[in-house]
Amino acid sequence: MGSDRWARALHDLYLVTLAIAFVATAVSFPAGADWLLAGAAVTVLGGADLVARQRQGIGYFLAAGLAVGLLTALYPTFAAVAFGLLPLAFVRLPRWAAVVTGVIATGAPYLAQPLLRAVLAGVGWQPGATIRFGPAYFAVVGIALPVLTALCTAGAVRALNRQSVLAGRAAERQRLAHELHDTLAQGLAGVVLQLEAAEQYLDGKAARLVTRARETAGACLVDTRRAVAALRPEPLAAATLVDALRRLCDRCVVRGTVRACHPPVEVVALRVVQEALANAAKHAGAAEVTVTVEYLTGELRLVVRDDGRGFDPASVEGGFGLATMRERVASVGGTLSVTSAPGAGTTVMATLEDS
């Protein structure tokens, strides 16, 4: 299932919890102002989600979390909405922002209920039922349980989505490798053999032209076989990632405790470093290139720094190498940044998720 389908599924879950909250409120409280307020709240929250699905940021979720918290202070039945809102927040937002959203959504009822009830009592309206639980219940059930539930749900969604994406990419790469090997590579090999046979019956200018054609076809065959090898998944079975990287460059710095990462992550790490080193050799004219591998908690960070001529990243258009690196890093949920300036060298940094 693609990331768009996962997002739609979580949005649908959120809308379902809104509907459940309204039905539960309608069943629990008599018709009148309670139904009107609950219905208006569900309409506004659901409509905001449908309208702003593609533009939901931190501000949107903080506002939605506060609205859910205040509604829960009036109608405890709206606590169900947190179980739809928080997984969506943990998937869409940085973790700290999602936690803040969760704390607001689940903690606000306990803090705001006395004030809201005092205000409404002044106008003769006392909606809902008073929440009377101790601080332990407030901390564990009111905040920790919904937040942990959302965190686990979001983690499962991310893991399933990443596995789906990786499996699809691996299958497509393998299919393309087989296609190149069985068609283009085999065809070029046949052309080389035919030209070698023709050389035996020619001399003079014709022989030179055939020789040149054979050499060109042979070079294309070598490039095609190299492309086939690059498309096939690198198992790294004969060496660790650090050993493989040290064979690629003279200066390889390792920070943190070396560990075995997930195979797709190590494959992407190796390919990114290979591409960055190739770019440095081909375009930068660098005298020295340093590869730094950092093993962090839940992450693997790679930094390739050269002292070459540098370039203006904003002026690069249609760069296949950089685009390929970004796609590979994104396929495992990572990020890639390129820092460079004319005469100042280039730094390529990839941060890969390994949790």
Q: For residue range 76-125, list pLDDT tens digits in order.
A: 888 888 888 888 887 788 878 888 888 888 878 777 777 776 776 665 55
Q: Rounded to an integer, what distance in angstroms lies between the CA atom of residue 160 and that of residue 6?
A: 9
Which of 324, 318, 352, 322 shows the shortest CA–CA distance to 339?
Answer: 322
Which pLDDT band, with edges at 50, 70 and 90, does 45 fall under? very high
Distance CA 334, CA 48 (A): 30
Residues 101/85, Cβ–Cβ less than 8 Å: yes
- Cα–Cα separations (whole angstroms), residue 138 to 4, 98, 314: 35, 19, 51
Banded model confidence at residue 258, pLDDT cuts 50, 70, 90: confident
- Cβ-based burial of 276 (10 A; exposed 0-12, middle 13-18, buried ≥19): buried
For residue 272, pLDDT over 80 is answered with yes
Query: Which pLDDT score is estimated for 138?
Result: 54
Would you say the pTM of this structure is higher than 0.85?
A: no
Give the separation between CA 167 and CA 169, rounded to whole angstroms: 6
Task: Give the residues across from 347 on adjacent strands.
Answer: 305, 339
CB atoms within 10 A of CB 69: 25
Q: How confident is the model at residue 237 (pLDDT cuts 50, 70, 90)?
A: low
For the record, the structure tokens of 130 come out as: 């008073």
Q: For position 278, what pLDDT does the model report?
A: 80
Query: Cα–Cα distance between 100 and 66 in angstroms, integer?
Result: 10
- pLDDT exceeds cutoff 50 at 171: yes
pLDDT band, residue 321 (cuts 50/70/90):
low
**What is the pLDDT, as a whole number, of residue 1?**
40
Write out the two tokens for 189.
Answer: 């090999």
On the question of pLDDT at 164 being above 60, the answer is no
User: Worst-scoring range by mean pLDDT, 219-233, 249-263, 266-280, 321-335?
Assistant: 219-233
Q: How far is CA 141 from the centre of its chain?
A: 31
Residue of higher predicted confidence among 110 and 229: 110
Q: Is the pLDDT of residue 47 over 80?
A: yes
pLDDT of residue 181: 57
Residue 75 contacts residue 128 (beta carbons within 8 Å): yes
> What mean pLDDT comes out for the span 52-63?
87
pLDDT at 344 over 70: yes
Q: In what order do the strands lie in the sheet with 251-255?
A: 251-255, 289-296, 299-306, 346-353, 335-340
Q: pLDDT confidence of 235, banded at 50, 70, 90?
A: very low
Contact 220, 188 (CB under 8 A): yes
Q: 265 near 353, Cβ under 8 Å?
A: yes
| Mean local confidence (pLDDT), 217-226 | 70
For the ranges 148-162, 203-217, 279-293, the lowest mean pLDDT is seen at: 148-162
| Residue 182 pLDDT | 56
Average pLDDT, the chain: 76
pLDDT for the residue 91: 77
Report residue 153's pLDDT band, with 50, 70 and 90 as the boundaries.
low
Mean pLDDT value of segment 17-38: 82
Could you give the CA distance from residue 322 to residue 348 in angstroms, rounded to a whole number? 10
Q: Would you state the pLDDT for residue 261?
A: 82
Cα separations in angstroms, 153 against 159, 298, 326 = 10, 18, 27
Judge contact between 164 and 1, C-beta under 8 A.
yes
pLDDT on residue 122: 64
Rg from Cα positions in the chain: 30
Q: Of residues 38 and 320, which shows the higher confidence score?
A: 38
**Residues 222, 189: Cα–Cα separation, whole Å:** 10
What are the CA-CA distances from residue 321 to residues 146, 178, 278, 327, 330 (Å)? 43, 22, 9, 10, 14
Rounded to whole angstroms, what are the CA distances from 23 to 39, 42, 129, 207, 283? 9, 10, 16, 87, 64
pLDDT of residue 238: 62
